[in-house]
């Protein structure tokens, strides 16, 4: 095989297998990948497509229980699959670096940032400790971390998630590697934080002419970052092209379907009749966890058959508002009314009918379903508990509910949650809520853990159920694309207060409250020039956390 | 491998120390010395080869041995790399690992050498290799039995049990085999045992495992004790008494501990406070001393079977404090899950939440704890019986047997078959402890997905 010196990374016909249930299952089936110096390649695909596995294989590394069963990996002419442990040790950390999805989980909480930063340069003999610390502070400055001279001496828990992700990028840069692999570095972040991290990653990669593999499932993000995009589906390459061609003129049907996801949008509903009694009415609620105030005089109404989206970044009090409605956190002041009547503030003092009316669908379907119960038991329990159905009648109702969520009953009723995919689990969560035959459902970030195609399916299902059953939704989310597709009304929250609320059509039209405007402008668009334009328009000081700090 | 061996090794050492030390009155140091002796064997072997050098070096010979071992390790790795053309296994082998291989190989050679020597003992002389040979035979036999049992398990049964056996390490299949054997012995003791546990025969002190000419008796393969009871039968009945009582006690301890722990986790608040502080108070008193105290007090109220039941309850209550701690911690982790919140919001009662939502998700850690707890209870009962407070004669019990037969250890130098007698019940206790730990370790690994 010719080793073209133009290419920094060259992976030929890679096959990767994973050990599962005593056999080797294919994960990657013969994918080629090449990367020139200074080039950024975006890898996209849904979960399970093998993006991360392929990214790690570019370092010659496999996770436990995974093996590279065929193909070749060359890094700058070095055959990584044949190289010994010591040869690889010289490359990893020094010439190849890795930025993980969760910086909070990847930093060692017992050491200061700067000590972790300097470890690789000292180990590899690139720099002395003093040099590396100085260089670290310079990198922190370039990544626009606040107080760059001082922040490195903090422990990981003392800085915010976005700052930690940037510190991790700085750490990856510490030896000035030729290649960095970014594995979903912004997936766990808020939109306003994400934009800042994106801008700084893009800058620093360009400044040092570093090649990068950027793994993500968010198309709009990859459009900003990558020069070329490779689309993976179940371990096969679907297509590869440079970013602009890919966005404007995708060849394959699968790619087109990915691009089309963001097109789903429900028609605007007519305005609510004035004087109609809302299903749920939150009235001047103030709540606190112990002495820490979380909600401050929050009021909003949710009408029959309507979806109210509550948006805001983490810590803004969206989920706490839901906890107040369900009664898990009794408010200090104010009340929750259901169809005009005040509900007891503590869920333990509500009766079954009151509990039945407000159901919840959770973000993480994994923890929301008892892993030791079959689907039939999970959905059957509320049927039996509230409706008093048993035996054949109960089973019939469960089958109806499974039909409702578009899963064939005979196939799924006896399965365990672990035997379902993420989207299917979320559907079971919906069915469990429907089993109580409620009027009102709280959807807490129900799509944020899902791939876009799957998430769209869930949104369409929720929309159809709303139309059929006249349900009201409180839709907690930080994803404005979701808001745009499903909401009727929007409530924007910040620091436990409602900063703005109104019908969706008004919310997406200027003029906005400054914070709403920031939220809206931070949502990445499918235009490769979006980030550049935004930075030119607003300036680096007026996006992300920096802007939020200015505001308060 | 190291983790799976450490726990049973400690348990074994603990048992041996507790039960045999009392008898021999020698103390822990002797065992440490014995362990050191075993470790020194490879060096001693080298002595013959390096005798002239030793004569010159004298006390510095250890350094030479260590150097030899290092050279051996280095050479082994180098040769391996050369011969296999740098296979990753040899290429990336750290020096310490190579050293370990060479040390293990030396040890195996020494063991085989000693084994071959053990048959050349002169007739009429005491067999000084008796214990070494028996231990080696037992090790080989049990390994073969474990592998065969696993093969057997792979071929019969349903698809899922066959899969279970295929993925099972040999240690676990050994553990399961031993537990099955103990269970059979305990349940069918009256049918298996050649004599009754209380029957006294006229001939006492029959020597085990020797032909009639030397004072043995084929009707009593393991001989008889000082008052003429058949030791084999008492060992088998001992399984019924010791293991059965330990099992009942552990089940009771778990019922109390798990219920309390989950209640505390679900209800929190004052229930948690009251239960936890109560448990703290009980745990503050050393367990063995506390149970001794309570059983002594109970012995003035009950006698015979009543005292045994009192002992069961006392040990169960004391051990349930540990179970409470664990199940409260496990329960706390499960209670924060969204599906528990969903069932709270549905309005479910405490009983449903504990037994239907939490318990099925806590089975793995609780089962593992059950295995360990069973061992501890079992050892406590054996220790209490050894002290004369546990299972009361004439019922056969391993702890009491160790105590009664203890003096025979003094025969070790000239009649090892005799000296073996107290080691049989002690070994029975140790073997079950090890077997249970093997199984528990395997279950823990399966449930947590830990890799070696």
**pLDDT at residue B280 is higher than 90:** yes
Residue pLDDT, tens place only, A120-161: 999 898 889 999 999 999 888 888 788 888 888 999 888 887
Q: How confident is the model at residue B18 (pLDDT cuts 50, 70, 90)?
A: low
pLDDT of A233 reads: 87
Contacts of B300 (CB under 8 A, 6+ apart): none
SS3 content of chain B, % helix, strand, coil (to 5): 80, 0, 20
DSSP-assigned beta bridge partners for residue A282: A300, A336
Q: Chain centroid to CA B179: how far? A: 11
Average pLDDT over residues A313-331: 87
Q: How confident is the model at residue B243 (pLDDT cuts 50, 70, 90)?
A: confident
What percent of chain B shows pLDDT beyond 90? 21
pLDDT of A1 reads: 43
Residue pLDDT, tens place only, B423-443: 888 889 889 988 988 888 888
pLDDT of A45 reads: 83
Residue pLDDT, tens place only, B70-123: 888 899 889 988 888 878 788 888 888 888 888 888 888 878 877 877 776 656
**pLDDT at residue B450 is higher than 50:** no
Q: Chain centroid to CA A457: how far? A: 17
**pLDDT at residue B35 is higher than 70:** no
A381: contact with B, CB 8 A cutoff? yes
pLDDT of B275 reads: 94
CA dist., res. A254 & res. A238, Å (int): 8
CA separation (Å) from B352 to A294, A326, A355, A365, B266? 32, 21, 17, 21, 11
Strand runs labelled E in A227-304: 228-233, 236-242, 280-289, 292-302
CA distance B72 to chain A (A): 23
Residue pLDDT, tens place only, B322-364: 999 999 999 999 998 889 999 989 888 888 999 889 998 888 8
pLDDT of B248 reads: 93
**pLDDT at residue A418 is higher than 90:** no
The encoded tokens of residue B350 equal 């405490």
SS3 content of chain A, % helix, strand, coil (to 5): 40, 25, 35
Residue pLDDT, tens place only, B355-399: 889 998 888 888 888 888 988 888 888 888 888 887 877 788 888
CA dist., res. B316 & res. B154, Å (int): 37
Q: Give yes or no for a contact between B397 and B390, defined as CB atoms under 8 angstroms apart.
A: yes
What percent of chain A shows pLDDT beyond 90? 16
B347: contact with A, CB 8 A cutoff? yes
Which residues of chain A does B91 touch, with a Cβ-Cβ cutoff of 8 Å? 84-85
Could you give the 3-state DSSP secondary structure of residue B358? Answer: helix
Q: Which helix (H) or strand (E) holds A74?
A: strand A66-75
Which residues of chain B does A362 touch, with a Cβ-Cβ cutoff of 8 Å? 338, 342
Per-residue 3-state assignment (H helix, E strand, C coil) for A389-421: CCHHHHHHHHHHHHHHCCCCHHHHCCCCHHHCC
Which residues of chain A does B266 touch, with a Cβ-Cβ cutoff of 8 Å? none
B345: contact with A, CB 8 A cutoff? yes
Contacts of B238 (CB under 8 A, 6+ apart): B396, B397, B398, B401, B425, B428
Write the burial class of residue B187 (CB in 10 Å: 0-12 exposed, 13-18 middle, 19+ buried). Answer: middle
Q: Which CATH class is domain A280-520?
A: alpha beta
Interface touch B360/A372, C-beta < 8 Å: yes
CATH architecture of A29-62+80-260: 3-Layer(aba) Sandwich (3.40)
pLDDT of A64 reads: 82
- The interface predicted TM-score (ipTM) is 0.79
Strands A7-20 and A66-75: antiparallel
Average pLDDT over residues A193-201: 83
Average pLDDT over residues B279-294: 91
Q: How confident is the model at residue B20 (pLDDT cuts 50, 70, 90)?
A: low
Residue in A closest to B94 by C-alpha:
A85
Domains of chain A by residue range: 29-62+80-260, 280-520
Angle at A358 between CA A353 and CA A364, to 5 degrees: 135
**pLDDT at residue B217 is higher than 80:** no
pLDDT of B15 reads: 63
Interface touch A373/B86, C-beta < 8 Å: no
Interface touch A370/B339, C-beta < 8 Å: yes
**pLDDT at residue B25 is higher than 50:** no
- Residue with the larger pLDDT of the pair A114 and B161: A114
Which residues of chain B does A381 touch, with a Cβ-Cβ cutoff of 8 Å? 343, 346
Least confident of A51-60, A266-275, B347-356: A266-275
Average pLDDT over residues B270-283: 94
CATH code: domain B240-448 is 1.10.3720.10
Q: Which one of A85, A359, A371 has the shortest CB-CB distance to B92?
A: A85
pLDDT of B261 reads: 94
pLDDT of A431 reads: 92
Matching fold, domains A29-62+80-260 and A280-520: yes
Domains of chain B by residue range: 50-120, 240-448
B85: contact with A, CB 8 A cutoff? no
Q: How confident is the model at residue B176 (pLDDT cuts 50, 70, 90)?
A: very high
The encoded tokens of residue B18 equal 């507790």
Interface touch A370/B360, C-beta < 8 Å: yes
Which strand ranges, in their side-by-side order, compose the sheet holding A358-361? Answer: A358-361, A440-444, A472-477, A307-311, A489-494, A497-503
Q: Give yes or no for a contact between A493 and A310, defined as CB atoms under 8 angstroms apart.
A: yes
DSSP-assigned beta bridge partners for residue A475: A309, A443
DSSP-assigned beta bridge partners for residue A413: none
A418: contact with B, CB 8 A cutoff? no
Write the burial class of residue A436 (CB in 10 Å: 0-12 exposed, 13-18 middle, 19+ buried). Answer: buried
pLDDT of B38 reads: 58
Least confident of A50-59, A519-528, B38-47, B385-394: B38-47
B357: contact with A, CB 8 A cutoff? yes
Angle between helices B359-386 and B244-267 (to 10 degrees): 140
């Amino acid at each position: 095989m010719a080793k073209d010196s133009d290419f920094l990374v060259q992976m030929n016909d890679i096959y990767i297998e994973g050990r599962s249930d005593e056999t080797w299952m294919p994960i990657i089936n013969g994918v080629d990948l090449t990367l020139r110096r200074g080039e950024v390649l975006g890898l996209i695909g849904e979960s399970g497509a093998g993006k991360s596995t392929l990214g790690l294989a570019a370092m010659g590394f496999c996770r436990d229980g995974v093996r590279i069963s065929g193909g070749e990996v060359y890094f700058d002419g070095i055959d990584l699959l044949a190289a010994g442990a010591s040869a690889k040790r010289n490359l990893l950390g020094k010439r190849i670096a890795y930025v993980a999805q969760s910086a909070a989980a990847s930093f060692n909480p017992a050491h200061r940032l700067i000590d972790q930063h300097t470890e690789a340069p000292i180990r590899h003999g690139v720099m002395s400790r003093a040099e590396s610390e100085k260089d670290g502070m310079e990198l922190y400055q370039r990544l626009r971390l606040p107080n760059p001279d001082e922040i490195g001496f903090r422990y990981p828990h003392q800085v915010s998630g976005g700052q930690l992700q940037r510190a991790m990028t700085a750490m990856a840069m510490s030896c000035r590697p030729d290649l960095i692999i970014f594995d979903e570095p912004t997936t766990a972040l808020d939109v306003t934080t994400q934009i800042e991290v994106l801008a700084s990653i893009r800058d620093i990669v360009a400044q040092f002419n570093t090649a990068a593999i950027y793994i993500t499932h968010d198309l709009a993000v990859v459009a900003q970052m990558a020069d070329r995009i490779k689309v993976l589906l179940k371990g096969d390459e679907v297509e590869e092209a440079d970013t602009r061609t890919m966005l404007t003129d995708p060849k394959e049907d699968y790619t087109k379907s990915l691009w089309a996801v963001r097109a789903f949008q429900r028609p605007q509903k007519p305005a609510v009749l004035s004087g109609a009694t809302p299903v749920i009415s939150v009235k001047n609620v103030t709540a606190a966890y112990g002495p820490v105030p979380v909600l401050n005089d929050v009021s909003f109404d949710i009408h029959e058959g309507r979806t109210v989206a509550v948006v805001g970044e983490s810590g803004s009090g969206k989920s706490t508002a839901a906890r107040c409605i369900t009664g898990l956190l009794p408010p200090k002041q104010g009340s929750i009314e259901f169809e005009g009547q005040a509900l007891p503030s503590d869920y333990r003092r509500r009766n079954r009918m009151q509990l039945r009316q407000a159901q919840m669908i959770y973000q993480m379907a994994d923890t929301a379903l008892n892993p030791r119960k079959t689907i039939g038991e999970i959905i059957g329990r509320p049927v039996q508990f509230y409706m008093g159905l048993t035996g054949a009648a109960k089973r019939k109702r469960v089958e109806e509910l499974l039909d409702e969520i578009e899963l064939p009953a005979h196939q799924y009723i006896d399965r365990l949650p672990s035997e379902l995919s993420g989207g299917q689990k979320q559907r079971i969560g919906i069915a469990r809520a429907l089993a109580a035959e409620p009027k009102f459902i709280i959807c807490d970030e129900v799509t944020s853990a899902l791939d876009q195609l799957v998430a769209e399916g869930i949104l369409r299902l929720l929309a159809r159920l709303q139309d059929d059953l006249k349900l009201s939704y409180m839709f907690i989310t930080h994803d404005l694309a979701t808001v745009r597709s499903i909401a009727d009304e929007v409530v924007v929250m910040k620091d436990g207060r409602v900063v703005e609320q109104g019908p969706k059509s008004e919310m997406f039209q200027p003029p906005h409250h400054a914070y709403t405007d920031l939220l809206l402008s931070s949502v990445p668009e499918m235009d490769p020039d979006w980030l550049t334009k935004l930075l030119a328009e607003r300036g680096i000081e007026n996006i992300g956390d920096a802007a939020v700090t200015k505001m308060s | 491998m190291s983790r799976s061996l450490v726990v049973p090794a400690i348990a074994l050492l603990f048992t041996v120390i507790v039960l045999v030390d009392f008898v021999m009155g020698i103390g822990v140091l002797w065992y440490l010395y014995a362990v050191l002796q075993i470790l020194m064997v490879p060096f001693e072997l080298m002595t013959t080869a390096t005798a002239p050098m030793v004569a010159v070096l004298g006390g510095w010979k250890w350094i030479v041995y260590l150097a030899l071992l290092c050279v051996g390790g280095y050479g082994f790795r180098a040769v391996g790399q050369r011969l296999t053309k740098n296979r990753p296994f040899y290429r990336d082998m750290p020096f310490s690992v190579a050293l370990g291989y060479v040390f293990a190989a030396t040890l195996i050679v020494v063991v085989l050498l000693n084994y071959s020597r053990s048959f050349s003992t002169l007739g009429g002389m005491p067999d000084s290799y008796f214990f070494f040979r028996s231990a080696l035979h037992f090790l080989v036999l049990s390994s073969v039995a474990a592998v065969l049992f696993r093969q057997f398990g792979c071929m019969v049964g349903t698809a899922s049990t066959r899969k279970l056996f295929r993925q099972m390490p040999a240690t676990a299949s050994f553990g399961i085999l031993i537990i099955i054997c103990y269970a059979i012995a305990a349940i069918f003791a009256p049918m298996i045992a050649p004599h009754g546990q209380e029957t006294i025969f006229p001939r006492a002190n029959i020597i085990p495992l020797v032909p009639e000419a030397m004072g043995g008796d084929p009707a009593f393969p393991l001989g008889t004790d000082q008052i003429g009871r058949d030791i084999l039968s008492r060992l088998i009945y001992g399984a019924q008494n010791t293991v059965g009582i330990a099992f009942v006690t552990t089940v009771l301890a778990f019922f109390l501990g798990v219920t309390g722990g989950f209640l505390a986790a679900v209800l929190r608040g004052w229930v948690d406070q009251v239960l936890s502080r109560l448990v703290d108070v009980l745990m503050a008193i050393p367990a063995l001393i506390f149970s001794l105290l309570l059983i002594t007090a109970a012995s003035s109220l009950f006698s015979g079977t009543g005292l045994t039941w009192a002992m069961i309850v006392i040990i169960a209550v004391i051990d349930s404090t540990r179970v409470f701690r664990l199940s409260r911690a496990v329960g706390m982790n499960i209670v924060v899950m969204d599906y528990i919140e969903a069932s709270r919001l549905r309005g479910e009662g405490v009983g449903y939440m504990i037994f239907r939502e939490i318990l099925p998700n806590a089975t793995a850690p609780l089962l593992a704890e059950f295995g360990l707890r069973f061992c501890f209870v079992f050892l406590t009962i054996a220790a209490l019986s050894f002290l004369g407070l546990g299972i009361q004669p004439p019922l056969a019990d391993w702890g009491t047997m160790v105590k009664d037969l203890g003096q025979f250890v003094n025969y070790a130098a000239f009649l090892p078959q005799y000296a073996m007698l107290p080691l049989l019940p002690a070994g029975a206790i140790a073997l079950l402890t090890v077997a249970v730990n093997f199984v528990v370790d395997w279950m823990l690994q399966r449930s947590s997905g830990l890799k070696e």
